[in-house]
Structure 1
Amino acid sequence: MFWTSITRSARQPSNLVETIRKLLPERLPPSLVSRPGNLYEILSRTPSGGVGKHVHQLRWSQKSIPDCYWVVTRSQFKCEGKHGKAWGKLVWKGRIVSEREERIRGSLKYTWAEGQSKASQLPPKTVRARVCA
């Protein structure tokens, strides 16, 4: 009796992904979300606190400034990873700007993402000439 119930359940297909999705809350915690946010939200999602990660401001990509990022060297978090302090080395257009680690500024003011900035795929804005009559 016991053995037959195991073999029957093994034959029935189970949807593991659907079951796990039902167990998770509708609004996922910050550690499971992979969307852009402030610098501390991005760094607090990693177990190491973001040390060694490359992060960039999204506006750098929007302005078509490629290969710019911060390499995070250390971080401290407050308020469940929404505030804190972070230090790193800046790489601007592929060249290291800061030899020593420095405090990363604009961490709450701008939107950040992991990785390096890329050139925007948007066409350049056209400038219209003024016609004086």
Structure 2
Amino acid sequence: MLPTAARCAAQASGSSAIAKSLERLLPKPSERPPSLSSGASALPRILSRTPDNGIGRRVHQVRWSEKQIADCYWVVSRTQFKLGGAHGKAWGKLYWKGKLVSEKEERIRGDLKYTWAEGPSKPTRPAQADAARPATSTEPQRATA
């Protein structure tokens, strides 16, 4: 039997009904365990919720982005977790402003002290150098009296 528009619509509505049913079975976002939460958190919590325990992932401290430091991150090479991923240790190589800083693997410090996120750091606001420069105009400026 070939699929018809009516059958496709019925299947689509059926799959959305299944998705809604599954959503109702999950706990509310505020009640979900750390392994199901997303967003910035302590480093062990972020790495433990990935299938490969974070190996090969890029992570950065959120404060680097807040300080407008771009393209800085750790590449995780080894992890060790305890207490279901709430605590643990991680090792990796540091890249600062896109350049490799640590040639060999080293322990990532501040894993519980700071808030971490996946990916390289990105400034949270536009560069201040652009805002400090006066706007240039193609019109000649007129003297005001």
Per-residue deviation, 1:11: 7.6
1:117 is matched with: 121
Corresponding residue SS for 1:89: strand
Q: Deviations over 1:62-88 (max 9, x none)?
A: 000000000000000011101111000
> CA RMSD of the aligned region, Å?
2.0
Q: Deviations over 1:71-112 (max 9, x none)?
A: 000000011101111000000000000000000000100000
Q: 1 CA distance for matches of 2:127 and 2:98?
A: 23
1:128 is matched with: none
Corresponding residue SS for 2:79: strand
Structure with higher helix content: 2
Runs (5+) with no aligned partner, structure 1: 1-6, 125-133
Which has the larger displacement, 24-33 or 80-89?
24-33
| Residue 18 (structure 2) pairs with residue 16 (structure 1) | yes
Per-residue deviation, 1:18: 1.2
Runs of 4+ residues over 6 Å off in structure 1: none
Per-residue deviation, 1:30: 2.1
| Residue 67 (structure 2) pairs with residue 63 (structure 1) | yes
Equivalent position amino acid for 1:43 in 2: L
Per-residue deviation, 1:31: 2.4
Per-residue deviation, 1:28: 2.0
Which has the larger displacement, 25-34 or 39-48?
25-34
Equivalent position amino acid for 2:89 in 1: K
Q: 1 CA distance for matches of 2:12 and 2:66?
A: 50
| Residue 99 (structure 2) pairs with residue 98 (structure 1) | no
2:91 is matched with: 87
Which has the larger displacement, 68-77 or 113-122?
113-122
Residue of structure 2 aligned with 1:25, choices 20, 24, 27: 27
Paired residues in the alignment total 116
Q: What's the TM-score once normalised by structure 1's chain length? A: 0.80
Q: What's the TM-score once normalised by structure 2's chain length? A: 0.74
Residue of structure 2 aligned with 1:74, choices 65, 74, 78: 78
Runs (5+) with no aligned partner, structure 2: 1-6, 129-145
